Structure 1
Amino acid sequence: MTRTLGTHGPRVFPLGLGAMGMSDFYGQADRTESIATIHAAMEAGVTLIDTGDFYGAGHNEMLIAEAIEGRRDQVVLSVKFGGLRDPAGGFIGIDNSPAHVKNYLAYTLRRLRTDHVDIYRPARLDPKVPIEETMGALAELVQAGYVRHIGLSEVSAATVRRAHAVHPVVDLQIEYSLISRGIEASILPTLRELGIGVTAYGVLSRGLISGHWSRQAAVGGHDFRAHSPRFQGGNLDHNLALVEHLRVLAADKGVTVAQLAIAWVLAQGDDILPLVGARTRPRLTEALGALDVVLTPEDLAAIEAAVPKDAAAGSRYAEVMMAMLDSERG
């Protein structure tokens, strides 16, 4: 039971583990439980672990290194680079210039305690640096053996074509869920034309459509969701109403809302690998249960009717962050 990332990418377990929340953006995480969750994922067969060198300013990479010590050959490490942080944890830009790409990787290899990264990708398009220059640097790292495959993240169909012309791209990491379906218009068809896979993050829309979120859920200033339009005011009420529609369908199937939502992404094509951001073993176990959910054409039609395309209220990021997304340009 595996899926291949792109035409020539690695074969991986059909769910990947996104480790970001173990270090950043969702408030305090428990280190012991995080490591135990990574271990449980590996024991269940999960192979791809996704991180970024700016998650916790390197903390996430070091956490993963500790968790996979002695078992490096069992995992496919997917790493994003380019996000610049200040000492207070704020974002201060993107830099994907060739010299910095190589510098980022030098530190990543040391923090991950490995001699190579399986998939290396810019986290966002750097508007100051042509994608061809970034890809050229990445191609050199592949040739030198430090990187096995090149991926992209949150870029448009046009940028994918330009990048792929320089060096083969195995996958595009991008948000995709029942309530974030923007890739279906032009990005997904382009990827399928070129033989490039999808690593889908946000499959539960940061917990919003997990079935566990409520109006009373409190988020602090260090939680990304405190600033997300979909979690604000009337938008939240509207979106939680959509979740209740899903809850009815999930109950009919004898599964949880989260399992139904993940299963929907899995059903969109074998070239799509959902990333689950489980920070605890119970949430991981629930997510893995989605692999046993079989959705019939009637089920899929009912889900589409319950949560129509573009049904969500609010954008998936705050306005300033949306402006940074090349993927929103088509």
Structure 2
Amino acid sequence: MMGSFRQTLIVVATIAAAIHNQIQIVEAIDIGVCYGMLGDNLPPATDVVKLYKRCGIEKTRLFDPNPEALNALRGSGISVILGIRNEDLPNLAASPDAVTAWLATNVEPYLDDIEFLVITVGNEVIPGNYAKNVLPVMQSLQKILDAKGLNAIKVSTVLSGKTLGSSYPPSSGAFTLEASSTLKGVLNFLSQTQSPLLINVYPYLAYASDPVNVRLDYAQFTATEPIVRDGDLSYYNLFDAMVDSFFSAMDKEGVSDVYVFVSESGWPSAGNGDFTTPQLAATYNKNFMNRITSNKGTPKRPEAHIQGFIFATFNENQKPAGVEQNFGLFYPNMEPVYPVFS
């Protein structure tokens, strides 16, 4: 009888060990992923959230308030950057009541179940036709959030590298005259509300446009020696140099206390020959993730903690053909294009 009991214990222990070995324990990663939806073959949002959870992804960026995605994110523990669509800005700028309605429809119903980090007023609209609408919408939104006791949600906008008229070396970073005319007010708003500036940073674009002068190891975080020296500062990677160019540009506008989120960065896996391979994309995104999760600042701002978001979750077949369709970490069937979260 005792022998039989001992055998049973051994069997149970063996089964338990086998089950334990099959369970993949995924630690949360302090990195975000942009959830683009310009595809006609993408999985349901509930499956996307499960994918994020499996990968340990803690944050996502939604480019617009998609109800299916927001409902799927309820109770997931995944924090959200939520975008206001560019085309909605003129109507919202013209009417504080419209901003109130936007918030009541797209944010307030989810407050008990989702942590909203930032609401972004437009994506890469400065400079441009929508630029004049950005600050009025930011001000209206902040006023409403303050009145409702929701000012833990930050209000910002998203800039592309095209706002910089000068970026090399990083200390010469300066906004274009057209961008500066709008950004003066925006940056003062961010300073007053202690909100981040969101910037899209793509070393890939710099490398692909000038591979003779931009070294691949500098673009991919793999250089083992300083590539650029700027006064007393040394730069091992182009990412840090690009971020510091934005810091320098803000300094020139008289604002030195605004921190940044990198709201997009990534590397396409196809679409431009040898510049875009799965291997290059994997190297960049793994190193970008390591860079963000290191919690290190930049040479210019060593104390800066920079949050970062990889662009993008999926290859999106409704974007322009070529590179634009191939920034995804995953195919629409949720298989990885290349391993990053493994």
TM-score band by shorter chain is: 0.5 to 0.7
TM-score, normalization by structure 1: 0.54
Gaps of 5+ in 1: 1-11, 86-92, 215-238, 248-255, 290-330
1:66-81 alignment runs, 5 A limit: 66-69=71-74, 71-72=75-76, 74-81=77-84
Question: Structure 2: how far apart are the matches of 1:259 and 1:150?
Answer: 32
Secondary structure of 2:133's aligned partner: coil
Task: Return the alpha-carbon distance in structure 2 between the equivalents of residues 196 and 282 of structure 1.
Answer: 35
Name the counterpart of 1:65: 70
Q: Give SS of 1:178's match.
A: helix
Q: Distance in 2 between matches of 1:50 and 1:287?
A: 18
Moved more, 166-175 or 180-189: 180-189
- Measured in 2, the distance between the counterparts of 1:109 and 1:122 equals 14
| Higher RCO structure (Cα 8 Å, ≥6 apart) | 1
CA deviation string 1:194-253 (max 9, x = no partner): 35122232512xxxx22xx25xxxxxxxxxxxxxxxxxxxxxxxx323236xx7xxxxxx
| Equivalent runs, 1:1-330 vs 2, <5 Å | 13-21=29-37, 25=38, 27-32=39-44, 34-53=45-64, 58=65, 61-69=66-74, 71-72=75-76, 74-84=77-87, 94-97=90-93, 99=96, 100-109=98-107, 112=110, 117-123=116-122, 124-125=125-126, 126-129=130-133, 131=135, 133-143=136-146, 144-146=148-150, 148-154=153-159, 156=163, 158=180, 159=183, 161-180=187-206, 183-184=242-243, 186-189=245-248, 193-204=256-267, 209-210=268-269, 213-214=270-271, 239-243=272-276, 256-266=279-289, 270=295, 271-279=306-314, 280=332, 281-283=334-336, 286-289=339-342
Distance 1:261 1:130, change over 3 A: closer
CA contact (8 A) 2:62 2:82 kept: yes
Q: What value does the CA root-mean-square deviation take over the aligned residues?
A: 3.5
* CA displacement at 1:102 relative to structure 2: 2.8
Q: Which amino acid aligns with 2:131?
A: P
What is aligned with 1:221?
A: none
Question: Contact 2:285 / 2:310 at 8 angstroms: preserved in 1?
Answer: no
Look up the SS of the partner of 1:162 in the other structure: helix
Do 1:38 and 1:67's aligned partners in 2 also have CA atoms closer than 8 Å? yes
Over residues 100-126 of structure 1, what are the superposed CA-to-partner deviations in whole Å (9 max), with x where a residue is unaligned? 433322221267575773311112343
Shift of 1:95: 4.8
How far the C-alpha of 1:16 sits from its partner, in A, is: 1.0
CA separation of 1:68 and 1:285: change in aligned 2, threshold 3 A: farther
Q: Distance in 2 between matches of 1:30 and 1:136?
A: 35
1:240-281 deviations in whole A, cap 9, x for unaligned?
Answer: 23236xx7xxxxxxxx33221213434656414132422343
Name the larger-Rg structure.
2
* Paired residue type of 2:56: G
Count of aligned pairs between the two proteins: 217
Contact 1:119–1:149 at 8 Å: present in 2 too? yes
Any conservation in 2 of the 1:177–1:265 contact (CA below 8 Å)?
Answer: no
